[in-house]
Amino acid sequence: MNLANLNFQQGILEYCSTRKIELLCLDNLSALASGIDENKSIDWEKSQPWLLQLRRVPITVLFIHHAGRNNEMRGSSKREDPASWIMRLDSPSDFNENAGAHFITRFTKWRCEKQPKTYEWIYTPNGDEVCIEVKEASPLDIFRSHVENGLDTCTMISDEMAISAGYVSRLAPA
C-alpha cells in the first residue's frame, strides 16, 4: 500500500465509494507513504489532492501517526493543512504501565468555534472484560502532562491550553 501511488489512491476511493464507507482509518502514516520523505513538504503534495477529494465525497480520513523525539508529529507540517482535526494522545502524570491503557486525548487543531474538551481515558483489564472510564481531564492533569511532555515555559503552556499565563502560574505550585 502506498498513499503516493495514484492507482492506489483511485482504488481506495472507488472501494470506499461503492461500499458507502464514511470513515477510512489508516495506520500508520509513515508505513503507508513509502517513497515520500516525511520531512519534505513537496513530497506530501502527492497525496494531498486525493485527501481533499475524499473529503468532498465525503469520506472522513483518520490517520494514525507517531510523534518524534520532541513529542510533536514527525515530518513536515504540510500534511496537517487539509486536516480538520488533529488529536494528540499524552501520558497522564500518574501513568502506571502495569494498569492497562491510560492516556489523555486533546485536540491540537480543530475547525469549529470552540476548542473540544480534553479527556482522560483509563482502560482496566478485569478478567475477560475491559472496564473503560472516560472523564474530562482536569486543568491540573493537562498542565502536568504538558510539563512532562517538554513544555517548560508559562507562555508555551498557556498557548497550548488556551488559558492565561496567570492561570498557568496558579496551576504550577499545585
pLDDT in tens, 23-82: 998 887 777 877 777 777 787 777 888 888 998 999 988 877 777 666 677 777 777 777
Answer yes or no: is 9 within a domain. Answer: yes
Answer yes or no: is 4 within a domain. Answer: yes
pLDDT at residue 17 in the model: 94
Pairing of strands 23-27, 129-136: unpaired
Number of domains forming the structure of the chain? 1
Answer yes or no: is 39 within a domain. Answer: yes
Answer yes or no: is 132 within a domain. Answer: no
Answer yes or no: is 110 within a domain. Answer: no
Answer yes or no: is 65 within a domain. Answer: yes
Burial of 80 (0-12, 13-18, 19+ CB in 10 A): middle
Answer yes or no: is 13 within a domain. Answer: yes
Q: How far apart, in Å, are the Cα atoms of 45 and each of 36, 89, 104, 144? A: 10, 26, 31, 37
Answer yes or no: is 17 within a domain. Answer: yes
pLDDT in tens, 80-107: 777 788 888 877 766 677 678 888 888 8
Q: What global pTM score does this model have?
A: 0.67
Phi-psi category of residue 42: left, alpha or beta, with phi > 0 → left and psi -120 to 50 → alpha = alpha
Domain of residue 20: give its range: 1-83
